[in-house]
Amino acid sequence: MRKAGRNVTPTSGTPPNAAPTLWDDEEPTWSVTELGGAIGLALRRSFPDEAWVKGEIRNLNRGRNGMVWFDLVEPAPGADHSRQPLAKLSVVLFDTARRRVNARLQDAGGAVRMSDGTEVRIRGRVDWYTPSGRLQLLMSDIDTAFTLGRLAADRERLLRLLDAEGLLGRQEALARPSVPLRVGLVTSAGSAAEHDVLDELRRSGLGFRVVRADARVQGPTAPRSIAWALRAVARRGVDVVLLVRGGGATTDLAAFDSEVIARAVAELDTVVITGIGHDVDRSVADEVAHAAYKTPTACAQAVVEDVRAFDARLVACWSDIAVVAQRQVRTQSSRLQACGRHVALATRSGLAAADRGLAAHGAHLRRSTAGAMARATFSLERSVGRVESGARAHLRDHGRSLDAARDRLVARTPRALASAEREVERIAGQVRALDPGRALARGWSITRGPDGRVVRTPADVSAGDALTTTVAGGEVHSVVTPEEDQ
């Protein structure tokens, strides 16, 4: 093998009078610098002109000297950013070329911005950087039409796929809540979009309760971050979810054209409203959402208007109810007055008839009262005579019975008293025999447990119980100890 370059001389053989070594042979030995130079020369010969390369930007960095460097990668199948990319190439954009690239981006109206996750087609020269042993592309130009065309093509392909699966109109079929006071907000925490939405809801003076979820809204990780945030706030039982982001280049908003976000929005059972800050194009997220507005502020205003419209309808309903109620009150009042007049007439007629009947009954009673009183007086006098004669005979009979009973009691009293005295003596003897004090005096004792109950058997107490024993001279206190093993 020959080394490239006229001034490169391989090291071979051994110095005169030097001892031979293991690597002393006919094959040349390269230094690292020599090999790097040879690789660079071979690359320049293989790629004498600049080449166009397409891929996705990753790990973009900008230096203070105006230089930009990043990795241009070919993602894993399905654009799965969680997997290792299929290929990667280091790209360097020096300050002079950067100005030319920036002018190209400005000519595209700011629709394309170089950032992580943007798919680009760039032009540059293949180069080998010997000091770090790195193959790199020295970028000189960018094809903005390629990036915009790929974004548009991918968006159309995804919309057709979602439409075929019935997901494009699923959110639109959901019933929009009449009073969306529980609002889920998905955006970047601390962003201007978050501030605009919260400020609009706060200035409305309505009782909104906001559940916020911080999400990346730009770059390769944005789709999965937004999809997770959407599902997280929906699980919190909100009435509506607001997916918002401020304005930016078309490439900055490319995440909202991803299939991951589109499916996450379409499959939610909660209404999703978008306010993604661009006026011309509609993202796929806008298409699958229940409704889309131009800015985050407009999105928040729509929610406020929903609540105010419901409040206006409620006020109108109450006004209609008040009108109907007043009409019914007037109608029923008229009917009540008519009924009152009929009742008054009927009452006066009834009272007149009652007065006439009462007068007739009064006259009849006055005529019959005199005869009834005379008959009652005669009957009462006869009854009084019979009661007096019967009472006197009854009193005489009971007087004799009372005298006989008194004589019997007088005769029986001494015998009853003697018998009672004997019974009292017998009971007193039994009481003296059963007196606990006499038993205690004879040496007996009474033992009570902690609860005050009398201890009759060893099973009534347990080890550690405090006992009180009553004897003739007082009380003795003791504690039960456990029985020792024999």
User: Whole-model pTM above 0.75?
Assistant: no
Closest by CA to 182, choosing from 306, 91, 284, 73, is 306
Q: Which residue has the higher pLDDT, 251 or 322?
A: 322
- Which of 263, 279, 308 is the C-terminal boundary of a domain? 308
Domain count, the chain: 3
| Tokens read off for 334 | 């008229």
DSSP string across 149-218: HHHHHHHHHHHHHHHHTT-TTHHHHSPPPSS--EEEEEE-TT-HHHHHHHHHHHHTTS--EEEEEE---S
> What is each CA distance from 170 to 144, 166, 242, 267, in whole angstroms?
34, 7, 17, 8
Cα(344)–Cα(485) distance, integer angstroms: 105
- Confirm whether 214 is domain-assigned: yes
296-324 residue pLDDT tens: 999 999 999 999 998 888 888 887 787 88
Question: Residue 417 falls within a domain, yes or no?
Answer: no
pLDDT of residue 9: 45
Both tokens of residue 382? 């006869």
| Residue 288, in any domain of the structure | yes
Q: What are the tens digits of pLDDT across the range 80-94?
A: 667 888 998 999 988
| pLDDT score recorded for residue 271 | 92
- Does a structural domain hold residue 268? yes
CA–CA separation, 199 vs 194, rounded Å?
A: 8
Q: Please indicate, yes or no, whether residues 86 and 179 belong to a single structural domain of this protein.
A: no
347: in domain:
no
- 201: burial class by Cβ within 10 Å (0-12, 13-18, 19+)? buried
CATH classification at residue 46: 2.40.50.140
Q: Is the Cβ–Cβ distance between 185 and 244 less than 8 Å?
A: yes
- CB-based contact 180:206 (threshold 8 Å): no
Q: Evaluate whether residue 373 is within a structural domain.
A: no
Determine the Cα–Cα distance for residues 100 and 333; give it in Å rounded to an integer.
89
Amino acid at residue number 20: P
Domain-terminating residue out of 262, 291, 308 = 308
Alpha-carbon gap, residue 126 to 101, rounded angstroms = 18
- CATH number assigned to the domain comprising residue 301: 3.40.50.280
Mean pLDDT of 254-270: 86
**Shared domain check, 277 and 203:** yes
Rounded Cα distance between 265 and 224, Å, is: 12
The pLDDT value given to residue 241: 94
Shared-domain flag, residues 126 and 218: no
- Kindly state whether residues 116 and 171 are assigned to the same domain: no
120 plus 157 within the same structural domain: no
For tokens 């599902």, what's the residue? 231
From 81, 109, 142, give the residue that closes a domain: 142
* 186 and 118 part of one domain: no
The percent of residues above 70 in pLDDT, for the chain, comes to 89
Whether the Cβ atoms of residue 275 and residue 238 lie closer than 8 Å to each other? no
Tallying the residues shown for the chain, one arrives at 486
Contact 285, 261 (CB under 8 A): yes
* The pLDDT of residue 16: 47
Percent of the chain with pLDDT over 90: 15
In a domain, residue 286? The reply is yes
Whether residues 181 and 96 share a domain: the answer is: no
- Answer yes or no: do 88 and 187 share one domain: no
Contact 61, 68 (CB under 8 A): yes
Torsion of CA 156, 158, 164, 167, to 10 degrees: -120
Which has the minimum average pLDDT: 245-259, 310-324, 331-345? 245-259
Q: Which domain holds residue 85?
A: 32-142
Q: Over 60: is that where the pLDDT of 485 sits?
A: no
Q: Kindly report, residue by residue over 87-125, the tens digit of the pLDDT.
A: 989 999 888 888 888 887 777 666 667 777 788 888 889
Q: Give the span between the Cα atoms of 286 and 291, in whole angstroms.
A: 7
Lowest mean pLDDT among 21-30, 278-287, 441-450: 21-30
Q: Which of 130, 105, 109, 124 is nearest to 32 (CA)?
A: 130
Query: Does residue 174 fall inside a structural domain?
Result: yes
Helix orientation angle between 259-267 and 222-234, rounded to the nearest 10 degrees: 10
Residues 260 and 181 in one domain: yes
**Cβ proximity of 168 and 292 under 8 Å:** no
pLDDT in tens, 395-438: 888 878 888 888 888 888 888 888 888 888 888 888 877 777 77
| DSSP-assigned states of every residue in 448-471 | E-TTSPBP-SGGG--TT-EEEEEE
- 380, amino acid identity: L
CA–CA separation, 135 and 185 (whole Å) = 45
Which residue has tokens 């009742």?
A: 343
Give the full edge-to-edge strand order of the sheet including 474-479: 446-448, 466-471, 474-479
Angle (CA) 119-123-129 rounded to 5° is: 105
pLDDT digits 0-9 by tens, 142-170 = 887 777 666 776 777 877 888 888 888 88
- The per-residue pLDDT of the chain, averaged, comes to 82
Residues 135 and 231 in one domain: no
The arithmetic mean of pLDDT across residues 279-300, rounded, is 84
Both 132 and 158 in one domain: the answer is no
- Asked whether residue 138 falls in the same domain as residue 190, the answer is no
